[in-house]
Chains A and B, each alone.
Chain A
């Protein structure tokens, strides 16, 4: 089922004044797709999710499930499955009882409920843990129980609130794949909230990048990465993060400290304009005939590639480049580099080129 948010807004009134947690959100999630809602902590992701779930009432705006406007519906009428950040499994019930809980509410016959619970448990790979209680499970297993509980009632929409944040790195990778697989198998429209850009990029059909309650960009992960709409998105996606080099227009030339920025762009800037040049570490190549002379501070080997830490003349902070490990570079020397690609942002972070 398609989920559409129109001008969705949520204000919390606090003693210090109102907080706009979510600000006129507009986007729609195509039926059967997995959308990642990505943004730093406190940007309103959970609030958005809880509004879709019906646990928060929107201050303004509408939520459509298919053609139904549901924003006045209580949560139990929406037919959604929700996985909480810390799972909220009932600690006194066994895995089986936890998964069956929603079915019992729907008055599904006992035998049928048992069968469906077992089926769902098998799907998420915890079929042999049915008799345990959540306290006897690892984080990853608990997380799968939570997914099974959310899926067992065949919801039309599945909402996941940072479901992997409590897992260790390896389990996170593994469970990520599994969520993707389960989502593909069931074809349920899914919204996946996370603050981890790598997670969002790898799992989502489409990502929605948010900051301060405002949507920054919507698109396919690769598109958003390759063509960020603004400096926030460019900085938020990618590890190591994009290099942002402050620049200033002097005598019609863009100067990065003492180095002239020498790429093709069809824009004219007035003298004194402040700009930001964004170059992803993998967009940098070492070339003896390169346009930019930089000073190499350090070289780090990271398996297949190596990281080059360098400075432009006059720069205080360092930049990072990822280059193939065959390229010989000595720390403490000056080398020439080239940009394969770069972005130009204005002072506020709006993308120009």
Chain B
């Protein structure tokens, strides 16, 4: 159709193009190199090699110190139960740390809570974001206004966000949710805080709502840019063929958004696996119900042993490392499975 507006490339498409351009530049350069004679080529390679090394050095240095070294060290330390980081004395080699972690019921509670977040809050938040995106895209009046409303949390300060959340789910009678419950004659619920009487379902509910709310803006942003990149003619064709709205959503919108959905699924699963700070902000350092650690997460467990001091010394670093390695293996397996499953489903 000649009269169609020129499609704006979506946000992701632009990122994609950026990498494509870089890739092309590099291969063009390589092709030019291949054309020049062998000797000069070697010289140039040498020269370029030095240049490249110098340019990459700062980044590599930072990565080495803060990423590669800790990763390798974590693996090592997890096999040395009496590792002492004060004098860097590894001690003896053993699987004790793994045994301790795997026999610890707190660890399994942490894994359970984490799994719950991955399994419940991730799909739920994606579905909610998709529905909001479709509705947002279908309204004609005030679309910009509503878009801004949904994007506001994304640019809002985390502390302000937390404060609002704390007010809504305050365990006190004046909390927003409790006020509403009281109005219906239902007793207040201890939703958050450091008290010992938080029901498990209430805590999980608050964590889930928090996770969904937290990630919603970014998800909508990605989905909206994706949806606006879909050719309007698919929808016109569907309309001419009398396709019900729900079928348009499930058979056209979702499949055509599948690359975005895959991206969002993977990133938010990673986020869910790593959740820790939100739980601390909701229930304090003890992560729920006093010392019971009801809502502890996998990362919370790692942190606990990372910081735990026994006999005046942080002896349990090895245990934290073992837990980290186990979590890593879990994430690895699930990601591989996801990649494999999505290869069959995602339409690019």
Query: Could you list which residues of chain A lie within 8 angstroms of chain B, going by C-beta atoms?
Result: 41-42, 46-47, 53-55, 74-77, 80-82, 84-86, 88, 90-93, 101-102, 104-106, 149, 153, 161
Contacts and interface: CB of A to CB of B under 8 A. Distances in A.
Most chain B CB within a 10 A radius of its CB, from A54, A76, A81, A161: A76
Contacts of B258: 92
A88 B347 contact: no
B62 interface: no
A84 B237 contact: yes
Contact of A76 (B241, B252, B255, B256): B241
B240 A86 contact: no
Interface residues of B, number: 22
B242 A88 contact: no
Given A88-B231, A91-B347, A92-B347, A76 B239 contact: yes
A200 to B, nearest CB: 18
A332 to B, nearest CB: 44
Interface of B: 1-3, 231, 233-234, 236-244, 247, 251-252, 255-256, 258, 347
A90 B240 contact: no
Nearest to A55: B236
A42 B3 CA distance: 8
B230 to A, nearest CB: 10
Contact of A101 (B1, B233, B243, B347): B243
Nearest to B247: A105
B240 A42 contact: no
Nearest to B239: A75
Nearest to A76: B242
Given A84-B1, A92-B255, A105 B234 contact: no
Given A86-B233, A88-B234, A46 B3 contact: yes
Contact of A153 (B234, B241, B251, B347): B241
B243 A88 contact: no
19 contacts: A46-B2, A53-B240, A54-B240, A55-B236, A74-B239, A75-B239, A76-B241, A82-B240, A84-B1, A84-B236, A88-B233, A90-B237, A90-B252, A90-B255, A93-B251, A101-B241, A101-B243, A102-B242, A161-B1
A55 B247 contact: no
A275 B302 CA distance: 94
A88 B256 contact: no
Contacts of B256: 91-92
B126 to A, nearest CB: 18
